[in-house]
Structure formats: C-alpha cells, structure tokens
C-alpha cells in the first residue's frame, strides 16, 4: 500500500491485519521511493491522482506533476522492478477533455499504452480501465448532497446534465477482472448505468428546493467513455468495451480477446456517451444507491 496519507493507512491497517501487506508512505512524484516500494511486487493498481476539476484549473502544474509525471515515474519504476502487470485507473473526463484534469488523464492513458513498447516482449504489461463517477467517493456529489440537504435546497449546475455511475464494489471487481485478462495496451470500459444529476437530487431530497447555480469551469453537460474517433479500435465484449492500442508490437498475437473470446467490432459511428447510454438508473435503483451511500457515511 503506497500513499502519502498516513491517517488513511492507519485506519485501513486497523481493519486489515495481513502480514503480506507492507505500508509505504510516499508520493508518486518520488521515483526513488516508488522503486523501493515496488521491490518484490508482481501486480500494481495505479489509483493515485489529483482529481478535483476546479483545483486542477487553479493549480495546473501540481496536477501535471502528479497525474502525468507521476505516471511516468510509475512506468519506469515498474519496468525496473520487473513488475508483471500494471493497470491504471482513468476517467471519462479523459475523453475529449475540456479541463486540465481530463487532459492530464488523457496524457497518462497514452503513457500507459505506450509503456508496453518500453517493456518489450515478455516485459512489464500496462493497461487502463476507464469508467465514470464512483458512487460515494471522496469529493463526489452524493456525499456533498447528503451534507447540504439539511439546508432545504440543493445546488444544480444544469438540469440536462448526465453522468456515468459505478459503485465502489463494482469498480473494484471490474479492475480485478481486467488485471486478470489484460495483454497490454487495452483501455477497458464497462457498460454502466447513467443518471441525470437532477433526478439524483430529487431522489435524495424530494422536498428540497433545486437552485440552478450554473456549470463550473471545465465541466461538461455529458460525459463520454468511448468517443467516435476511437470506434475503429473498439470491440464489444458483451459487458464491456475494449479499446485496442492503435500501435502494437510487443506481442505476436494482435487479436485482443477477453478470456479467449474475441470481441465484436462496433459501428464506425459508435459513441458511448452518458446522455445516450441505454442503462439509465430508475427511481428504485437511485433510492437503493442513496440509502447505501448514506449508511456508509453515517
């Protein structure tokens, strides 16, 4: 466990007592510390990032140092330590980015795909998972609404706004499954539910007033997980999409499969966007999600 938050490491250590876990304080910006932490490690899940959009707009170089240069440090340290597989967590904001955070994550995605060239055949393999908002994660809208609804009103940026959503448990399962099947260079995209933010607000606080406060700088009305420009490289694998690397020379087998099954090419005009996705959360699903998240925060 490698992070710079000693309090969260301490709290997690109270819940998990396992001699296989080593607790390393450090920053992904520090490549030497990463090299020490990766000694003897076979698999890495890369979740370190500065992710708050307004903070990134105000502090762009800090975001770049962590999200881009930190990714490069992890790539180099993983190859040197002979790590077998690295899977990085991306975001829908990396697609057609309009904010600094999204731009840094797009750059990191490109770095992790290209890192397979550095490892060569038989070397460290790198892949990426890309999904939307994680329900109840730090800084997300649900805990914000939970804290704010006691005032009798909730701020809404735009009634048309939609977002992709995935639970923390489903996100963990998806990352684990992709780590198991990756060959290197893939961007894995799960088929997940979407919702309108205004529907979420109404479900959380039916009696509260909804006030339109306008879209924040760097924010979109809708998010995209697979853009049209990547349709030519995208395969449909049933429960997920796989975006293939445009350039690949680190393996002899150029056909990407998931558990031995090849995917089906999508239409050349295909786009996976939050305003057009078929899996829209209904009222019952929203209520269940909110109830569980509120219980987690109580």
Apex 132 CA angle, 48 and 209, nearest 5: 115
Q: Kindly state the tokens that stand for 169.
A: 């448990």
User: Which residue is listed with tokens 């529907």?
Assistant: 199
Q: Is the C-alpha dihedral spanning 93, 164, 270, 111 positive or negative?
A: positive
Catalytic residue among 8, 15, 93, 105: 93
Phi/psi at 155 (5° precision): -80, 130
Q: Residue 264 in 3-state DSSP?
A: strand
User: Which residue is listed with tokens 């890309």?
Assistant: 130
- Please state, in angstroms and rounded to a whole number, the distance separating the CA atoms of residues 195 and 279: 9
Q: Decide if 110 is catalytic.
A: no
Cα 296 to Cα 95, 135, 142, 168, 259, distances in angstroms: 31, 11, 11, 11, 34
Residue 190 contacts residue 135 (beta carbons within 8 Å): no
Residue 199 contacts residue 193 (beta carbons within 8 Å): no
User: Which residue is listed with tokens 């003897």?
Assistant: 40
Cα 237 to Cα 26, 73, 87, 243, distances in angstroms: 37, 32, 19, 11
First-last CA distance in the chain: 26
Q: Which residues pair with 166 in a beta bridge?
A: 134
Residue 92 contacts residue 100 (beta carbons within 8 Å): no
Closest CA to 258 of 185, 180, 191, 199: 180
Catalytic residues: 93
């Amino acid at each position: 466990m490698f992070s710079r938050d000693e309090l969260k490491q301490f709290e997690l250590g109270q819940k998990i007592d396992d001699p296989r876990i080593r607790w390393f304080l450090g920053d992904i910006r520090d490549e030497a510390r990463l090299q020490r932490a990766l000694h003897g490690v076979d698999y890495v899940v890369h979740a370190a990032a500065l992710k708050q959009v307004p903070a990134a707009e105000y502090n762009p170089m800090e975001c770049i140092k962590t999200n881009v240069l930190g990714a490069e440090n992890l790539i180099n340290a993983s190859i040197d330590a002979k790590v077998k597989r690295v899977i990085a967590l991306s975001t829908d904001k990396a697609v057609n980015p309009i904010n600094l955070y999204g731009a840094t994550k797009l750059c990191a995605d490109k770095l992790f795909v290209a890192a397979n060239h550095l490892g060569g055949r038989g070397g460290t393999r790198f892949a990426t998972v890309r999904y939307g908002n994680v329900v109840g994660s730090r800084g997300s809208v649900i805990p914000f609404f939970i804290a704010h609804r006691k005032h009798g009103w909730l701020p809404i940026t735009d009634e048309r706004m939609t977002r992709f959503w995935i639970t923390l448990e489903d996100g963990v399962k998806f990352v684990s499954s992709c780590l198991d099947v990756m060959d290197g260079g893939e961007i894995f995209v799960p088929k997940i539910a979407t919702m309108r933010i205004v529907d979420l607000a109404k479900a959380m606080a039916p009696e509260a007033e909804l006030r339109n406060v306008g879209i924040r700088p760097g924010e979109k009305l809708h998010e995209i997980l697979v853009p049209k420009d990547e349709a030519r490289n995208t395969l449909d694998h049933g429960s997920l999409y796989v975006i293939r690397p445009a350039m690949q020379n680190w393996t002899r087998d150029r056909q990407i499969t998931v558990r031995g099954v090849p995917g089906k090419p999508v239409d050349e005009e295909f786009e996976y966007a939050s305003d057009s996705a078929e899996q829209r959360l209904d009222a019952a699903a929203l209520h269940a999600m909110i109830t569980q998240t509120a219980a987690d925060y109580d």
